[in-house]
Amino acid sequence: MGKRRSSKLLAGLLLAVLAAVCLVAPAAAQGSPPVDAVPADLVLLAAPQGEGGLQSDAAIISPRPPSAAALPAPPQSYIVQTGDTLSAIAGRQKLDAATLAALNGIANSDQVQAGQTLRLPGQAARPSALPPGGPLARVQFWPWPPKQGQTLVVWLRAAAALSPTVSFAGQAYPVLGGDRQGYALLPVPGLLPPGPQALIVAAGGQTVTLSIPVVAGVFEFGQVPAEVSDPILGQTTRVQAEADRLAAIWAGNSSLPWTPHLRFRSPLDVPAQHTAPFGSRRTYGADPTIVEHTGEDLSVAAGTPVLAPAGGRVVLADLLFERGNAVVLDHGHGVFTCYWHMRAIDVKVGDTVSTGQKLGEVGSTGLSTGPHLHWEMHVNGVAVDPLQWLEAPK
């Protein structure tokens, strides 16, 4: 194979397998991440007097349900004022400048002019109603609009017993529930470009396509020195074998009872510094490839107990080359949580664990520069932000 292909393959390999590597981030990144205001949900009805009832379902399903005190919709556009700069506007809207520029097709950020109308993320192709006479009576989304790295929950109610199926951003996902109503957990990849993505619901021989405006998350950026990463990441065969082993686990979809009637709890009983948040971008050594950090790094003292955030079954408990002492829990229906770099493991494959049960102890095994728990969550094969699933992120 040619050199170009080799380098492309190498870049792909790095993207695929480095994503989970954890390091304790520099002091500048320490401190708890900002907790977002409660996001809104969105309900679509086939008719003004459409069927209700899914709110009560929503109230008992993780991740966190729609709030009765949902915030008003964010502003949809902004008119550039004299003296404005793109970065200043982006900062006030809690966006990064590159996202705002991309959303408005602006190649040169110096080109914004007073009087110009800028599109903001909330404006992207918001669906307002379901097609009348179609197969769906009601659709509810939470959160709305979804951000990169979140789990988008979609509740569906069909007009008749139609067993709907769902695809989002080109991937099919299972619908849990009965013939007439159910819900799907749609992972929004952290590296999925912001902008409209198609949600296609098929039911009763018909399809309904809705445009979902994926909003850019705000992610910090870091660089990992080569002397830290290369000794492990240079061994590409071992790194790839580990990634393949984990990907096979995350592709599972067991019928375990899961915990639809409970929020997840924190895996730690003590306050932790969030030293590398989920979704932060990083590069390793001299390689310019931007990699997503696919978990949340929680820095606490070595030996701190690591606790199951919800009931599940242990599907991996092993010393891994890159991730150190590792445990993966299967919570059922494509929901997995993962615990890397521990100094000790207290469970074994096949164990059934309950909420709060000790899984092991925080350590610094594998590719890690200090004691911390890398907590990772996968939903239907995609890494998502685990903090969204907590009762109260901390």
In the complex, the smallest distance separating the C-beta of residue 370 from Zn ion, rounded to whole angstroms, is: 11
Report the alpha-carbon distance of residue 304 to residue 270 in Å, rounded. 8
Q: How many residues bind Zn ion (CB under 5 A)?
A: 4
Determine contact, residues 148/197, Cβ cutoff 8 Å.
no
Of 64 and 374, nearer to Zn ion (C-beta) is: 374
Report the alpha-carbon distance of residue 333 to residue 185 in Å, rounded. 9
The pair of structure tokens assigned to 219 is: 């992610």
Report the alpha-carbon distance of residue 313 to residue 331 in Å, rounded. 7
Report the alpha-carbon distance of residue 161 to residue 135 in Å, rounded. 10
In the complex, the smallest distance separating the C-beta of residue 289 from Zn ion, rounded to whole angstroms, is: 17
The pair of structure tokens assigned to 32 is: 């708890």
Radius of gyration for the alpha carbons in the chain, expressed in angstroms and rounded: 22
Strand 291-292 vs strand 281-284: parallel, antiparallel, or unpaired? antiparallel
The pair of structure tokens assigned to 327 is: 């445990």
**Binding-site member from 64, 333, 374, 378 for Zn ion (CB under 5 A):** 374
In the complex, the smallest distance separating the C-beta of residue 251 from Zn ion, rounded to whole angstroms, is: 22
**Binding-site member from 22, 61, 86, 215 for Zn ion (CB under 5 A):** 22
> Segment near Zn ion (CB under 5 A), from 147-155, 159-167, 177-185, 374-382?
374-382
Of 210 and 276, nearer to Zn ion (C-beta) is: 276
In the complex, the smallest distance separating the C-beta of residue 286 from Zn ion, rounded to whole angstroms, is: 21
282 counts as binding Zn ion under rule CB under 5 A:
no
**Binding-site member from 297, 322, 330, 385 for Zn ion (CB under 5 A):** 297
> Segment near Zn ion (CB under 5 A), from 132-140, 183-191, 304-312, 371-379?
371-379
Of 259 and 294, nearer to Zn ion (C-beta) is: 294
In the complex, the smallest distance separating the C-beta of residue 382 from Zn ion, rounded to whole angstroms, is: 17
Look up tokens 């990144």; give the residue.
29
Determine contact, residues 354/308, Cβ cutoff 8 Å.
yes
Q: Which residues bind Zn ion (CB under 5 A)?
A: 22, 295, 297, 374
